Each structure stands twice: as C-alpha cells, then as structure tokens.
Amino acid sequence: MTHKPGIVVTGASGRMGQMLVRIISESDKAQLVGAVERTGHDWVGQDIGTAMGARASGVTVIDDPLEAFAQAQAIIDFTAPEATLEFAALAAQARLVHVIGTTGMSDAQIEALTPAARHAVIVRAGNMSLGVNLLTQLTRKVAAALDEDFDIEIIEAHHHHKVDAPSGTALMLGEAAAEGRGVALADVADRRRDGITGARERGNIGFVAIRGGDIVGEHDVLFAAPGERITLRHVATDRGVFARGALRAALWGQGKPPGAYDMVDVLGLND
Ligand SMILES: NC(=O)C1=CN([C@@H]2O[C@H](COP(=O)(O)OP(=O)(O)OC[C@H]3O[C@@H](n4cnc5c(N)ncnc54)[C@H](OP(=O)(O)O)[C@@H]3O)[C@@H](O)[C@H]2O)C=CC1
Ligand SMILES: O=C(O)C1=N[C@H](C(=O)O)C[C@H](O)C1
C-alpha cells in the first residue's frame, strides 16, 4: 500500500476549513491527520466530523498547532494573516508543505514568509481554482495586446462575511494586467473612489468590491475603450474548487525543494 500524505487543516471550523476537511476525507490520495482551531473555540476537543454535523472522522480538533503538525506532511491554511505567519514558522520547523490560501496579507506580512520558505515548501495563492489561475494568464495576454485606450477595471463580488478588499484574486488579476502592460501595479492601482475623484487617470487599473449575501466569489476584468469593451469573467459557485486546488498543491509539494511557489507552478501553466 502506498503512503498517503497526512494533512492538517488550520481554521478547521471556518467556511474553507470545513470544505477542506470534507474534500481531504473523501480523497484517496491524502489523509486528514489533524484539525486546528483557536484556543477557547467550542470545537476544541470534539471530533471534527461530528462538530461539522457529519460522520465521526477519528480526528479531534486541537488548539496546539505544533502537536498537530508533528503528525503531518502538509498543512492547508485558510485563516487570517497573523495566524498564517505563526503557522508558517511552525511548518518551517517541522519541514512541512504549507499551502496558504489566506488573503489580506500586507506586503510586509508576505515578506515575513521568506525565512520560512528557506525550510518549507510554501504554496501561496489568492485563489486556488484552476479557472482563476487560467484567467490570470489570459488577463496578462489581453493587457499586453491592448494599449492604454483600454481602461482596465477589476470588479469582484463576495459574500457579506468577507473581511478584506480588494480580494486576493482581484490583486492577482491586477498584477497580471500590470505585468502585461509592463508597469508596476503599485504605481497604477486605483483602490479608492469616493466623492469628487476627478476623471479617471489613463493607464490606471481600478478595483471595485461588491459584498453581499452568499456570493462565493466572482471576478470580472473589464477592458473598456471608446466604442468597445471586453470582459474576462470567472464565477465560483462552490468552495470545493478552492479546496481541491489546495489539496492538489499539498500533494504537488511533497518532495519539492523548499521555496515559495504559487498555483501557476502547481498547475504547470508556465510549462
Ligand atoms: N486562496 C483561495 O483560493 C481562497 C482564499 N480564501 C481566504 O481564506 C481565508 C478564510 O476564509 P473563510 O474560510 O471564508 O473564513 P472563515 O472566517 O470562515 O474561517 C477562518 C478560520 O480561521 C480561523 N482563524 C482566524 N484567525 C485566527 C487566528 N489568529 N488563530 C487561529 N485561527 C484563526 C477562524 O477561527 P475563529 O472563527 O475562531 O476566528 C476560522 O476558523 C480568507 O482570507 C479568505 O479570503 C477563501 C476562499 C478561497
Ligand atoms: O474570502 C473568500 O471567500 C474568497 N477569498 C479569495 C479572495 O480573496 O480572492 C478567493 C475567493 O474568491 C473566495
């Protein structure tokens, strides 16, 4: 029998945490070996399956990440920036594959992952779906083909619980558009529109965030010129696409040299 990599899910009670627990439990390529929640969380001490209202899984939710990581080959982490930094240090100590889906990280927080990536395989992406990662490639190509007569706007929509804006995906798409244009996103990003903003600046890449209801995640890249418009669109209707992407990343990372990777590496989209 082949060895199935053991995976720990952090933030196991969250929307993505529960989806990951389900997807890993159904997989014949990996096994769930740990579920971590914050100290004081109601689910600590309970079986993760039972806490989710499903069948008992044999995995108890614990609040000591290091204890959980000791059993594992990979952790999948969709939590919050401060927590992700803490988990990265521990995953590096344990030489694990650390798959990071957490968004809303500042540039300084992303930079702070660098020491961990010397010891661990870190796969980080603002969106783990195949569709969005393909969309970034298309966005880069379209942006490279068009001149600044085409205003680029990135419009994203998410559920009302989401705490960060623009979404991680919107920023990935913005980076791709800026790369296509041969400019730095930081120089052209327009993230604040309120009041008398003045006319739109030529060459800027604008971001618009919609929050409402249970929208899973929708992203449009609009290229608007006088007389014509192009829209590239991705719509996620099921969080399973992110969880399956993350599991694929955790498996892909096994045996890879330490370093910082993304889903384009995992999916081989640059090959
Ligand atoms: N890259 C991708 O493909 C995707 C990324 N995401 C991102 O994943 C993240 C989580 O999203 P979602 O599941 O909807 O959010 P939830 O709020 O539903 O879940 C977050 C989980 O992380 C836990 N958590 C938060 N802060 C800490 C902390 N400091 N220490 C320990 N645990 C912590 C929460 O616990 P508690 O409830 O106790 O706070 C909760 O269990 C977001 O950043 C989101 O943008 C989401 C979908 C796809
Ligand atoms: O918070 C979410 O839900 C999502 N977050 C990611 C993001 O910020 O882009 C990915 C996905 O769109 C869902």
The DSSP code sequence of 38-85 is -TT-TTTTSBHHHHTTS---S-BEES-HHHHHTT-SEEEE-S-HHHHH
Q: Which residues are catalytically annotated? A: 158, 162
Torsion of CA 13, 18, 20, 24, to 10 degrees: 110
Q: Residue 8: what residue type?
A: V
Instruction: Please give the chain's pLDDT, 271 residues, in tens.
Output: 458 999 999 999 999 999 999 999 999 999 999 999 999 999 999 999 999 999 999 999 999 999 999 999 999 999 999 999 999 999 999 999 999 999 999 999 999 999 999 999 999 999 999 999 999 999 999 999 999 999 999 999 999 999 999 999 999 999 999 999 999 999 999 998 999 999 999 999 999 999 999 999 999 999 999 999 999 999 999 999 999 999 999 999 999 999 999 999 999 998 6
Q: Two tokens at 214?
A: 């249970």
Atom 26 of ligand 1 has which residue's CA nearest to it? 80
CB of 209 closer than 8 Å to CB of 160: no
Q: According to the model, what pLDDT value does residue 2 have?
A: 59
127 is in an annotated binding site: yes
Q: For residues 181 and 18, what is the distance between their CA atoms, to the nearest angstrom?
A: 39
Strand 217-225 with 151-158, pairing: antiparallel
Distance of CA 167 from the midpoint of ligand 2 (Å): 6
Atom index in ligand 1 nearest the CA of residue 127 equals 3
CA dihedral sign, ordered 212, 218, 219, 225 = negative
Ligand 1 atom at minimum distance from 128 CA: 3
Q: Which amino acid residue places its CA nearest to atom 34 of ligand 1?
A: 11
Structure tokens at 161: 């619980």
**DSSP state, 162?**
-
The Å distance, Cα 169 to ligand 2 centre, comes to: 7
Q: Which two tokens stand for residue 9?
A: 């899910």
- 191 CB burial (10 A radius; 0-12, 13-18, 19+): middle
Q: How far is the CA of 98 from the centre of ligand 1 (A)?
A: 15
In the 8-state DSSP scheme, what is residue 200?
A: P
If one residue of 20, 79, 124, 127 were mutated to test the ligand 2 pocket, choosing by the most ligand atoms within 8 A of its CB, it would be: 127
Contact by Cβ (8 Å): 113, 260: yes
